Structure 1
Amino acid sequence: MFAKATKADLRRTALARRMALDSGEVARRSDKLRENLFRQFPVDAWQWLHLFLPLAKRNEPDTWGFISWVWSEALPLRLAAPVVQPDGISLKHYELTPDGQNTLNRWGITEPVPHPVTAPEVFPVLLDAVLVPLLAVDRTGQRVGYGGGFYDRFLAQCRPGTQFIGLNLLNEPPVRRIADVLPTDVPLTAYITPGRVWRF
């Protein structure tokens, strides 16, 4: 990977490498990400974990394995996921429960269907940790996503001390520096690959 590059360079290269993974490799590496999260972070102390639901056509980490693990082990951890709002630039967040319903949005991303009982709204200040999608990260925890700014706006609403944990299927170390970080970009506190965890 690059020592220093723009977000566009990093995005293009990382997405191509990730898209080259077959479905079996995506599943295997997603399991490793889950294992690293539950072994190396104080999940038992968290009340709320926010996670993204994977966009399969872009080979995103399969977080359904994380969800199934929490529910099958009957962990006291509660889960939340984002829903893109009609303005197309902001997110609201709703609880994921075994009884809740999901739907596909216009981008093909699975979202919980809001419901006062099975999927109530969850406010960012409640969250203990957020699993963040990304394509690359640098040594200060700055990340490269798809460029929409959804997560930076969302993470800025969380309370101080919330852990922002990036997930990457590629076993890529942080690059030295992302050249075009913006003042509104929110850095991660940790970064997980199938082979290692970095903390910032």
Structure 2
Amino acid sequence: MLKADLRRQMLARRRALPAGELARRSLLLGKQLFQAFEVARWRWLHVYLPVARQREPDTWPIIHQLWREHPNVQVAVPVVQLDGVHLRHYHLTPDTLLVENRWHIPEPIGASEVALDAFDAVLLPLLAFDELGHRVGYGKGFYDRFLLECRPDVLRIGLSLEPPIERIADAWIGDVPLHACITPERVWRFQ
């Protein structure tokens, strides 16, 4: 299946998902993360903040669990830059003030910037993924550019509300594959 078709199909499936089911699946994603990965060994975890109107998996339960149970693990979140192409990354704490940007993405205000080489793992938003670890996002390439700038050993973990498709037909060399993808039912590992 082609990325453009997958985007349309998966966005429609998300929109049709009742709020309670979205919340249930989001909680299961967090449960899978903490069971399958040695989170306590990480120093920095990069997490996207969910865009409610896009009905993205809710990462707030993961963030709150980290703050409660693993205070040694620092959390960073992305901020889209004014050029609309690049991301910068900022420390998120329980006291960080958030404001929605023009794309309705929550962004930290007054937080300290985090260097790209700090991250041990990155939780990636996606619309779909395949059995080879390729992902389909919104098509802007933010995360592919970001991941290429991270340390080579950074763990790339997708969060998906749906199981994988067999193959994304138009995956290309510039796509940075996942090491793993978490679904509500299980963790898929690649490479």
Q: Which residue of 2 aligns with 1:190?
A: 180
What amino acid is the match of 1:111? E
What amino acid is the match of 1:188? L
Residue 156 (structure 2) pairs with residue 164 (structure 1)? yes
CA displacement at 1:182 relative to structure 2: 2.5
Q: Per-residue CA shift, 1:140-184, capped at 9, x if unaligned?
A: 2110001010000001111011111000112x2x22221112321
SS at match of 1:50: strand
Q: Which residue of 2 aligns with 1:63?
A: 59
Q: TM-score, normalised by structure 2?
A: 0.96
Counterparts of 2:155 and 2:69, CA distance in 1: 22
Q: TM-score, normalised by structure 1?
A: 0.92
Once structures 1 and 2 are overlaid, which stretch shifts more, 188-197 or 135-144? 135-144
Aligned counterparts, 1:124-135, within 5 A: 124-135=116-127
What amino acid is the match of 1:158? C
Q: Per-residue CA shift, 1:102-131, capped at 9, x if unaligned?
A: 111101010111x3xxx2111221100000
Q: Which residue of 2 aligns with 1:17?
A: 13
Q: Which residue of 2 aligns with 1:179?
A: 169
CA displacement at 1:75 relative to structure 2: 2.7
Gaps of 5+ in 1: none
What amino acid is the match of 1:107? W
SS at match of 1:184: coil
Equivalent residues, number: 190
CA displacement at 1:69 relative to structure 2: 1.0
Gaps of 5+ in 2: none
- When residues 99 and 124 of structure 1 are mapped into structure 2, their CA distance, relative to the original with a 3 A threshold, is same
What amino acid is the match of 2:186? R
Aligned counterparts, 1:83-162, within 5 A: 83-113=79-109, 115=110, 119-162=111-154
Counterparts of 1:21 and 1:123, CA distance in 2: 36
CA displacement at 1:74 relative to structure 2: 4.8
Counterparts of 2:115 and 2:189, CA distance in 1: 25
Q: Per-residue CA shift, 1:3-32, capped at 9, x if unaligned?
A: xx1001111111111111111111111110
SS at match of 2:149: coil
Is the Cα–Cα contact under 8 Å of residues 32 and 187 in structure 2 kept in the other structure? Answer: yes
Once structures 1 and 2 are overlaid, which stretch shifts more, 189-198 or 175-184? 175-184
What amino acid is the match of 1:8? A
SS at match of 1:70: helix
